[in-house]
A = this chain, B = another copy of it.
Amino acid sequence: MLDYTRVENLSAADVQRLRAVYEPLTTSVRDLVDATIRTEVDADAVAAATAEIDSATARLRVKQRDRSFGIQFGADGDSMPWGNAVIGVRNPTAPPLVIRRMPDGSVTSDFYLGAAFEGPPGHVHGGVSAMILDHVLGDAASTPGKHRLTGTITVRYRRLTPLGRVRAEARVTRSEGFKTYAIGHLADDEGVTVEAEGVFIEPRWARD
Contact = CB atoms under 8 A, between A and B. Distances in A.
Interface in A112-131: 114-123, 125-128, 130-131
Interface string A131-171: 11111001000000000011111111100100100000000
Total identical chains: 2
Interface string A41-61: 111011011101111110111
Contact of A88 (B37, B85, B121, B132): B37
14 contacts: A21-B46, A25-B46, A28-B50, A31-B57, A32-B53, A32-B60, A36-B90, A52-B53, A68-B163, A92-B93, A125-B131, A126-B149, A127-B135, A150-B157
Given A25-B49, A28-B53, A93-B117, 4 more contacts: A22-B46, A41-B62, A46-B60, A126-B134
Interface of A: 2-5, 21-22, 24-26, 28-29, 31-33, 35-43, 45-46, 48-50, 52-57, 59-65, 67-71, 82-86, 88, 90-93, 114-123, 125-128, 130-135, 138, 149-157, 160, 163
